[in-house]
Structure 1
């Protein structure tokens, strides 16, 4: 009696899901009140990791599409931070998200040393876990609010892309969609 490909896929999915839950849920208490010493963004797994002396805190994210809208791989630094930012897009200025839900930056902006790129909230919570932005790194508004207080100006931001199989990428996407659904339904995460 051998292991089928379906059993293997199911086991791999649960291992990835368990790792993601461990990063997202278990790491949170150890990192509360801590200061990030590095931000690591893995475009392949759609995850942002804050490294601190007390541990790590991880959040799912959305990154850029392909071509000119791809999120650039490299090492940068946090250059600016804004609470309730205005959003300037295609010649229009959107007032802060709390007054205008069309503001694509959500409730926080964390700019990096690559002009016009940064980490921010979103007005499209179900976009998390996908390659959909114009290059920025999107987070749930609750997640970016937590991260904002932990990331001082000058913090290194490393954006990487880990090669993964298409099958694994699909399982990660499925997990992140579940995370988003729970976040939107519960509103407490």
Structure 2
């Protein structure tokens, strides 16, 4: 059984992606004290990029579905931050995540200048890498906890959508599902 060009490309993509994750994990300790100059969310690749003076950190994310729940493309600013937020949803108030695992905001909330939208943790770790939210940008709780102190109020947040070929989109989804599995199994990455 021979290796096809498609198999080679897929293997190459996973090797590059694994290297990128390894670099992110290695870069995080040196990013302590770093401040984000800009946050970039790419809906197509399901990644959030923090640009700092000392480098770039990348975290996988989940964004909104289509229609009224689509994550809005545009440029915003961080307007508020809250550790261990309560969540108000459909007439119910959920206690902070550490007390109520049904809190959809997870352990951190970073609100942007578009009311009721923001970057946050999640109570559904396997949702990362998909279009499943009600418009916000979800992250693994460990990732948003690492990013939270680096993102001051007023930081620009750009949400973009990059056209992605169908084959590449499938490979990105496969990689992010593996990333989620490793994050859940290991507690952090």
What TM bracket, shorter-length normalisation? over 0.9
Whole-Å Cα distance in 1 between the matches of residues 135 and 106 of structure 2?
16
Structure 1, unmatched stretches of 5+, are none
3-state DSSP class of the match of 1:48? Answer: strand
State how 1:62-141 maps to structure 2 within 5 Å: 62-141=62-141
SS of aligned partner of 1:59: strand
Query: Are the equivalent residues in 2 in contact too, given 1:28–1:56 (CA < 8 A)?
Result: no
TM-score normalised by structure 1 residue count: 0.93
How far the C-alpha of 1:10 sits from its partner, in A, is 2.3
Other structure's SS at 1:126 match: helix
104-113 vs 13-22, greater mean Cα deviation: 13-22
> Could you tell me whether the CA contact under 8 Å between 1:23 and 1:58 is conserved in 2?
no
Q: Report the CA distance between 1:127 and its aligned residue.
A: 0.3
Q: Offset of 1:9 from its aligned partner?
A: 3.4
Aligned to 1:180: 180
Q: CA deviation at 1:166?
A: 1.1
2:162 alignment counterpart? 162
1:43–1:110 Cα change, 3 Å: same
SS of 1:181's equivalent in the other structure is helix
Shift of the alpha carbon at 1:8? 4.1
Question: What's the TM-score once normalised by structure 2's chain length?
Answer: 0.93
CA RMSD in angstroms comes to 1.7
- Preserved contact between residue 14 and residue 175 of structure 2 (Cα < 8 Å): no
Q: Show the counterpart of 1:39.
A: 39
**C-alpha contact 1:16 1:172 (8 A) present in aligned 2:** no
Is the CA contact 2:39–2:48 (under 8 Å) kept in the aligned structure 1? yes
| Structure 2, unpaired ranges of 5+ | none
Q: Number of matched residues? A: 188
Does the aligned pair in 1 maintain the 2:125–2:180 contact within 8 Å? yes
Report deviation, 1:58: 1.0
